[in-house]
Chains A and B, each alone.
Chain A
């Protein structure tokens, strides 16, 4: 069992005990502990159940690479699943729950999966649950999801705040071990703007744990001195608890700072996502120790040798009282020495190498440790905790071996540089036969826009294994990052000679199938040596495919421990060299980051920008029901107390048609187009001719894209000889403006035209109805008579003391004035219109009444009658297409054979035989079936409303040969199977001669 030692622990403060709970059991740790060290210190070795077989699992590692110790952390609005105990700093009152165990961690009913593990090999789900097809969705998937679930999703909104921060530096250094510190020192002294980030709360990495001495003193002293020197530099920024999450093109990097994970609720943001632009990036990300593949290597108590000494040295915690060290290299002997120094037992060091007599090994022997060379662990005994190991010959098949009792196994398969960030944006790797690991190839670094490398690695991340090499490499890379060569002195280190390691991918090398089926490669996803071998047998030769077939490395640790071991097993099975098999792709983030940090400020009221017109507050106060139109919110209708939306719409339509209505039309796009070529330009943009428009007049225009499809529509007013004002749809202003600038800047760059988007400059109010002129006269200040301001004309002047431009245009079929007024005065004019309009019972109306009235008039709406596949000719708008122009955008496309076919669906009006409202989007069915056995369709409804004016349902639709079939009755298929009959009629239901708008 793991225990807290009486003394030791360089990172903990024993004067500050902290209480926490694990699965509701109260436990205690100290300030400076991680949750993992506190759990071990409290004797909790079993922390989780595995994903697939629900095997008992314990803590394996001491950092970001931990595959097993994931917990649900916190409660309520601060609950978060899948939190790594090894990277979670302990705080008082921390609440952690184990995951993936039912009913409890100690007794897990799903552990029966493990008994049948031989029946659940790689690809088990793919092979087993293929049939019957419908069972997957309704039976297999829910059951498998329940059994294989990891963390539970939070149920409450996140209680914390998150923020972004944009940083710009000359040099970003990721990793605050001795390499990162050294590189920062060199770059900082050169005067560069340096940002140094470290994922843990502590600087210096593992040098102090590994007994490194620098310039004759313990590493801690050099680290403290270096930090002090860096802090004194104005041009250097240090951030602990800030992980380099991802590297991207153009020197972009993401830093993930955990501000208050360890002080929840202190008012600071929980996480800050740094969006960093760096001239050069140095990744000093260290290395990760590899596990060994022996049977039972996942039993709680089997840990990485480096992690075992981390817990002893950093936290004063012993993962076990009797620890067997299993290794293929000299480094693990350091663990044995640390354990002996702490007064713990090391019954044996099991070394696969036949010869092991380096200085570290000799010291262990001198201290009385038994070294078994040429030996291996055949299998681990124990269920929820290691009880012992069976030893055998390293190169045998694993025959009967001797039992060695222990409660902890410290394993070391060698070290792999953390090349993730290097690889994120394209850095390539080389294979080292000496260390059996991939390391960065400096000649194939990620390159920037200038073709020069912008990422380098320093220290262990480069593949340097001795601290002297680490510091020299870091100094060189720090200097190179500022375009210099390092020429200063280097700190001296106490490096101890180490004998070559000996790669071992399966232990023992000739292990029989029974043993291979208990050797875990990927602890988090329960992938074993036998699974990868089976995948190879079944033809999965690519490492990327093997990964997906077996799920090796696909858990949220992304294979930090399993990657190299897995692909080594695959390469052995395929009979190829490891570098030929290659690695899977390293993708950001290095460790999972919170959704909150990605969202930043984009939540709640600022989730998305909401555009408000100058009259928005009035609409809200008036109780308007708002609907989104682009990013605007517009009143859909203004229901009175007790009134339904349909009733409100009917009232608004009737009141407008009978007397007077008003509409906030501020959202309409307004783009000014000016220049000697403005007319020519608009002739190209619109299907009809705008250049012939006279100043003082307005014309409705259609805008198509290059493929001929309708894109936008609106009224164009000619302000003077050189200047036009183009109105666009509410949602289309920015797009249309971009479209204009695109053509002007990229295609017709020599045309003399300037554009400015004036949408926001004006509030716009439509005054609509038979009494509109009377109200305009009552407001006073300008002549709005039929003669002075005829239909489709505009005038400028003062209305009720406001500077306005008034357009005599109508989207309702009524006498109508649209008044543009500077936005800052729009609300005041709105109020004035309301006050004077009271005499006529003026009724503000919303977008739905606007839609109903335009449909009664047969006016099309972009987005209803159009869907990106409709051309103006489909809508009977041939009158708005100039025959005189040589060209306009979309013209040639509209001449293609498909566009000119006579059976294209064309616009008609539709009326049900019983006066009911047709469902929106419903299809008219024809005779026979298509090639897929579906009933043929001959048309569809594009707009449909109840017309309060006519007292019946009215609709528009697109129907094959529609205009030639007036009076025919079509059958529309409702979603409930019913057939609804509707007659084809003229789409203009109301005032077909336009007498009302032209008075």
Chain B
């Protein structure tokens, strides 16, 4: 197997408001099905709790994000995608579901720093106040003109995913928003 290339080769930018970094590709599996059935199966396989609406749960190197009433996103180490798919396939053999590898479909960014929330607030129609959006929360929204999802991980960094083909656009608008001085509203 050849080396896996992130869309932008790991681009980085240091702005006044935040540092934007393209992260190494993660393993990602899209799960669609009855939330009870697939939730239980994936919780068994990974130890992640089943996330509620707009939530994301973490367990070791696994994360499980709520994407819609019938969709979860499982994140895992890249070399465990095959194992996870296999084990999920076995557990869910009798249930109507869809589990598919989407590890290459996306770019992942980290937005870190005191201005990180305001970087996103310049681009996303989402309430980013710490009282409204904290660790364990995930949002499916947009940044400027493209779809994106983001959450706050255990280190209090914001992680954002978007489709791979628009990684350059996403990085450029994130950098543009990270350049500016604080708006001074979100801390």
Contact = CB atoms under 8 A, between A and B. Distances in A.
Interface of A: 161, 163-168, 193, 237, 268-269, 272, 275, 277, 600-602, 605-606, 608-614, 631-632, 672, 674-676, 752, 754-756, 758-762, 801-803, 822-825, 827-829
A609 B104 contact: no
B183 interface: yes
B11 interface: no
Given A163-B180, A754-B32, A756-B30, A827 B5 contact: yes
B171 to A, nearest CB: 10
A14 B72 CA distance: 64
Nearest to B96: A752
Nearest to A605: B172
Interface string B55-73: 0000000000000001000
B100 A237 contact: no
Contact of B165 (A275, A277, A672, A760): A760
Given A601-B177, A754-B97, A760-B165, A608 B145 contact: yes
Given A167-B185, A802-B2, A760 B104 contact: yes
10 contacts: A164-B122, A167-B185, A609-B144, A609-B146, A614-B7, A754-B33, A760-B163, A824-B4, A824-B5, A824-B25
Given A268-B181, A614-B7, 11 more contacts: A167-B185, A275-B125, A601-B123, A601-B173, A602-B145, A605-B172, A609-B169, A612-B167, A672-B100, A756-B98, A824-B103
Contacts of A632: 165
A605 to B, nearest CB: 6
Contacts of B101: 761, 822
Contact of A823 (B105, B121, B166): B105
Interface stretch (B40-48, B126-134, B149-157): B126-134
B144 A601 contact: yes
Contacts of B6: 824
A754 B118 CA distance: 36
Contacts, number: 137
B178 to A, nearest CB: 11
Given A609-B166, A801-B1, A601 B176 contact: yes
B124 interface: yes
Contacts of A193: 129
Given A163-B177, A823-B164, A829 B105 contact: no
B102 interface: yes
Given A602-B145, A801-B2, A758 B165 contact: no
Contact of B176 (A606, A612, A754, A802): A606
CB-based closest 10 A-B pairs: A754-B98, A168-B127, A824-B4, A611-B165, A760-B105, A823-B104, A761-B105, A828-B2, A822-B104, A754-B32
A762 B5 contact: no
B168 interface: yes
Contacts of B70: 754
Given A611-B165, A674-B98, A168 B4 contact: no
Interface string B1-38: 11111110000000000000000010000101100000
Contacts of B181: 268
A610 B183 CA distance: 28
A802 B172 contact: no
Q: Interface centre among B105, B129, B165, B180, by most A CB within 10 Å? A: B165
A828 B2 CA distance: 7
Contacts of B103: 761, 822, 824
A467 to B, nearest CB: 31
Nearest to B129: A168
B102 A758 contact: yes
A611 B30 CA distance: 22
B106 interface: yes
Contacts of B125: 166, 275
Nearest to A824: B4
Contacts of B145: 602, 608-609
A827 B2 CA distance: 10
A610 B168 contact: yes
B121 A167 contact: yes
A764 to B, nearest CB: 12
Interface in B74-106: 96-98, 100-106
Contacts of A829: 2
A992 B75 CA distance: 50
B1 A761 contact: no
Q: Name the residue in B70, B106, B169 with the highest tally of chain A Cβ atoms < 10 Å from its Cβ.
A: B169
Which has the most chain B C-beta neighbours within 10 Å: A275, A608, A759, A760? Answer: A760
